[in-house]
Amino acid sequence: MTAYQTSGARVIEPNTVRTADGVNLFYRDWGDGEPVLFVGGWSLGADSWCYQMLALAEQGMRVIAFDRRGHGRSSDPGRGYDFNTLADDLAAVLEALDLDEVTLVAHSMGCNEVVRYLTRHGQRRIRRVALLGTMTPCIARSADNPDGIDPALLEYFRKEQLMKDLPKWIDENLPPFVAEHTPQGMRDWLRAMPLQASLQALYECNRSLQREDFRAELPNITLPVLLLAGTNDASAPFELTARPSAALLPNARLQVYEGAPHGMFLTHMASVNSDLLDFVRS
pLDDT of residue 2: 47
Of the residues 108, 208, 235, 245, which is catalytic? 108
| Domain membership flag for residue 93 | yes
pLDDT of residue 6: 58
108 is catalytic: yes
| Domain membership flag for residue 175 | yes
Distances (CA, A) of 162 to 19, 112, 135, 193, 273: 28, 21, 19, 15, 32
233 is catalytic: yes
State the Cα–Cα distance between residues 72 and 228, nearest whole angstrom.
25
State the Cα–Cα distance between residues 190 and 253, nearest whole angstrom.
29
| Domain membership flag for residue 215 | yes
| Domain membership flag for residue 4 | no
pLDDT of residue 180: 84
Among the listed residues 26, 82, 30, 81, the one whose alpha carbon sits nearest the alpha carbon of residue 56: 30
Taking the CA atoms of 207, 201, 264 and 121 in sequence, report the sign of the dihedral they define: positive
Distances (CA, A) of 275 to 10, 108, 122: 32, 17, 25
DSSP class per residue in 152-191:
HHHHHIIIIIITT-HHHHHHHHHHHHS-TTS-HHHHHHHH
Of the residues 233, 235, 268, 275, which is catalytic? 233
pLDDT of residue 267: 96
Buried/exposed 44-65: b ≥16 CB within 10 Å, e otherwise: bbbbbbbebbebbbebebbbbb
Phi, psi of 258 (to 5 degrees): -65, 125
Q: Rounded to a whole number, what is the distance in angstroms from the first to the last CA of the chain?
A: 27
Strands 126-132 and 102-107: parallel
State the Cα–Cα distance between residues 164 and 147, nearest whole angstrom.
28
Q: Which CATH number do you get for residue 95?
A: 3.40.50.1820
Specify the number of domains making up the chain.
1
pTM: 0.96
| Domain membership flag for residue 69 | yes
Among the listed residues 80, 42, 57, the one whose alpha carbon sits nearest the alpha carbon of residue 277: 57
Over its C-alpha atoms, the chain yields an Rg (Å, rounded) of 17
pLDDT of residue 147: 94
Residue 11: exposure state from Cβ atoms within 10 A (0-12, 13-18, ≥19)? middle
Of the residues 71, 107, 121, 262, which is catalytic? 262
pLDDT of residue 270: 97
State the Cα–Cα distance between residues 130 and 174, nearest whole angstrom.
24
pLDDT of residue 7: 67
| Domain membership flag for residue 154 | yes
142 is catalytic: no
| Domain membership flag for residue 228 | yes
| Domain membership flag for residue 1 | no
The domain containing residue 89 runs over which residues? 10-281
Encode the chain (282 residues) as per-residue pLDDT tens digits: 444 555 689 999 999 999 999 999 999 999 999 999 999 999 999 999 999 999 999 999 999 999 999 999 999 999 999 999 999 999 999 999 999 999 999 999 999 999 999 999 999 999 999 999 999 999 999 999 999 999 999 999 999 999 999 999 999 999 999 988 899 999 999 999 999 999 999 999 999 999 999 999 999 999 999 999 999 999 999 999 999 999 999 999 999 999 999 999 999 999 999 999 999 998
